[in-house]
Structure 1
Amino acid sequence: MDARLLVEHIPSLRRYARALTGNAWAADDLVQDTLERACGKWRLWVVGSDLRAWLFTVMHNIFASQVRRTPPHAVVPLEDAAQEIQGLADTGRDHGTGLDLQRCLMQLPEEQRAVLLLVTLEDLSYAEVAKVLGVPVGTVMSRLSRARVRLQELMDGAAAPARPGLRRLK
């Protein structure tokens, strides 16, 4: 295995992990777990196929496993994430918008947030996202649509945080 192949993908893996977790420490741990798993399972990657998509698949599977194993009350409080983001932000920038976006992203259901981030932040095609997440392309499209609508509602302040199992009627 040539480590240079992995190294060029670390920035995008870190960016996606940070957006998924909302926490710099958890994101770095997720990237490290992803790289360790990729190195251990290197023989499963098909030479000539999209290494970036394969790495995102590995990361998504690790993250999904972590979410399933983590008790619901062990989620990082939004205030902690906001303080961490504020501490990392440039002092001359408007903190409100960035914090609002991060807070709103973290309120999206995990499956919607993953699709939204892979399409918009990582610029993957719908087919690539479907492969990474192991879902049909139509599911990617509907999750993306719902994520965009919900994010806009949250950013506009027009909706209270969604409660699991309840759907808004229009």
Structure 2
Amino acid sequence: MSFESDLLVWLPHLRRYARALTRDPAWADDLVQDTLERALSKWRWGRGGNLRAWLLTLLRHRFIDQLRSRREVAFDDEEAPWQQQPAATGEVDGLLLRDVERALYRLPLEQREVLLLIALEELSYQEAAKVLKVPVGTVMSRLSRARERMRILLTEPAADATPGRPPLKVVKHSP
């Protein structure tokens, strides 16, 4: 196999990770394209390395560079688009997914990155540590804190709920 065909194997993974980071399909596609261009220009790749981890590292670095240039470092803003989107109409699964998505983006970036790499991209702790350039213990610690925070965010009652009554969601119904 050629280097270019090896890159194509990981393209769906790069797109999925980029979309999870950006929540914007156009930005994610641009991010993947930038990553692939950088990978092709830095083609010092030798056999025996982990191409997937290297590509995810390139993508993550490019994402951080773009955040810095846009000055959009915080994703946990209450006014962010994903906090304001109406829930999917008539779909319980859509409501659950929306809750998970909102909870995910309330995590600090460091915890969210680890959770996405381990849970979504199914990297090992060692691979995630290599992508993030942190020790394996840091990956494990961040993942533990991310899972615990997600658990809390997904089970805490709404702030305006009356004690003794289950929290209710307001679902906008569009005809």
How would you bin the TM-score normalised by the shorter chain? 0.7 to 0.9
Identity in percent: 51
The residue aligned with 2:5 is 4
The residue aligned with 1:47 is 47
Change (3 A) 1:28 1:141: same
The residue aligned with 1:146 is 145
Q: Kindly state the Cα deviation for residue 100 of structure 1 after the two structures are TM-superposed.
A: 1.2
The aligned runs of 1:11-30 (5 Å cut-off) are 11-30=12-31
Task: Report the TM-score when normalising by structure 2.
Answer: 0.77
Distance 1:2 1:80 in 2: 37
Q: Kindly state the Cα deviation for residue 23 of structure 1 after the two structures are TM-superposed.
A: 1.9
Q: Which protein, 1 or 2, shows the higher relative CO under an 8 Å CA cutoff with sep ≥ 6? A: 1
Contact conserved, 2:87 with 2:95, CA < 8 A, in 1?
no
Distance 1:26 1:8 in 2: 21
Q: Kindly state the Cα deviation for residue 107 of structure 1 after the two structures are TM-superposed.
A: 1.3
The residue aligned with 2:66 is 66
The aligned runs of 1:75-114 (5 Å cut-off) are 78-79=80-81, 83=85, 94-114=93-113
Aligned length: 156
Change (3 A) 1:81 1:52: farther
> SS at 1:94's partner residue?
helix
Q: Kindly state the Cα deviation for residue 55 of structure 1 after the two structures are TM-superposed.
A: 0.3
Q: Which amino acid aligns with 1:69?
A: S
Distance 1:47 1:54 in 2: 12
Structure with the greater alpha carbon radius of gyration: 2
Change (3 A) 1:93 1:15: farther
Change (3 A) 1:70 1:142: same
Task: Say what the alpha-carbon RMSD is for the aligned residues.
Answer: 2.8
Distance 1:39 1:97 in 2: 39
Distance 1:53 1:85 in 2: 34
Distance 2:53 2:118 in 1: 12
Distance 1:94 1:106 in 2: 18
Question: Where does structure 1 lack aligned partners over 5 or more consecutive residues?
Answer: 161-170
Contact conserved, 1:115 with 1:143, CA < 8 A, in 2?
yes
> SS at 1:42's partner residue?
coil
Structure number with the higher helix fraction is 1
CA deviation digits over 1:116-144, x for unaligned, max 9?
11111111111111100100111101110
**2:33 maps to 1:32:** yes
